[in-house]
Structure 1
């Protein structure tokens, strides 16, 4: 596993773990790496220093870690916390239908499937067709659970 510091084209900085450098390149090329703050897929690696842990003896001798050197455990920006809360709410209250989103949304709209909140993935053309047919949909600022980075 490798951790990268990343930055989107609007200036948001964030970190993410990847299986390998090749995995990052593949996910980025397919548009699967997105900024958690704005959803932009124009993401680049940012300059990052390697994190080297001191030995246990050294760490004990140095005492507690200063606040500015502690690892990131929470969101860097209030928007990140809002997006996390939104994602939790959607995942708790809606059915994930994956790439069958357009088919399911259309079936619910036409009364062919039970009425329920859903979320999933749709190609831009599919989303456009749903909107033209009057199916009420809205894009979410995150990727479904199958494709998270």
Structure 2
């Protein structure tokens, strides 16, 4: 696995993990990368400092407690899962139907392709990316 810092054409920076450099290159070339903030498909690698292990990191137990950020992300995920309906890959269709009054209004979450997310935003459907993967993609 390799982590890259990425930047979209709107100036948003974020990080993402890839199986390999070749995996990143393939996804980038196919247009399957999108900004985690605005959904822009114009994403490039940003400058990134290398990760250097320290003596402290090498002697830390493998089961070290999660960082405060990891704990907050886990709490957010629990909240989303407990208070909204998971609609999987039907997210774009269901969000649009709720917005148009064709489906009951309720909080939902799921997956959408970058082009689907952009279309929802352009249509004025209130959506936002989540900082974790959906159930279908999680290990």
TM range (shorter): 0.5 to 0.7
Gap change, CA 1:69 and 1:140, over 3 Å in 2:
closer
1:8 aligns with 2:3: yes
In the alignment, structure 1 segments of 5+ residues that lack a partner are 1-5, 11-37, 45-67
Identify which of structures 1 and 2 has the higher relative contact order when contacts are C-alpha pairs closer than 8 Å and 6+ apart.
1
1:97 aligns with 2:87: yes
1:40 aligns with 2:40: no
Contact 2:4/2:15 (CA < 8 Å) preserved in 1? no
The structure having more radius of gyration, on CA atoms, is 1
Deviation at 1:83, TM superposition (A): 0.6
CA distance in 2, matches of 1:106, 1:126: 10
CA distance in 2, matches of 1:131, 1:7: 30
CA distance in 1, matches of 2:69, 2:135: 20
Deviation at 1:79, TM superposition (A): 1.1
1:143 aligns with 2:133: yes
In the alignment, structure 2 segments of 5+ residues that lack a partner are 6-13, 21-58
Alignment correspondent of 1:74? 65
Please give the TM-score of this superposition, normalised by the length of structure 2: 0.60
Contact 2:96/2:120 (CA < 8 Å) preserved in 1? yes
Coordinate RMSD, CA, aligned: 2.0
Number of residue pairs matched?
A: 93
CA distance in 2, matches of 1:136, 1:89: 19
Runs of 4+ in 1 over 4 A off after TM superposition: none
CA distance in 2, matches of 1:119, 1:39: 21
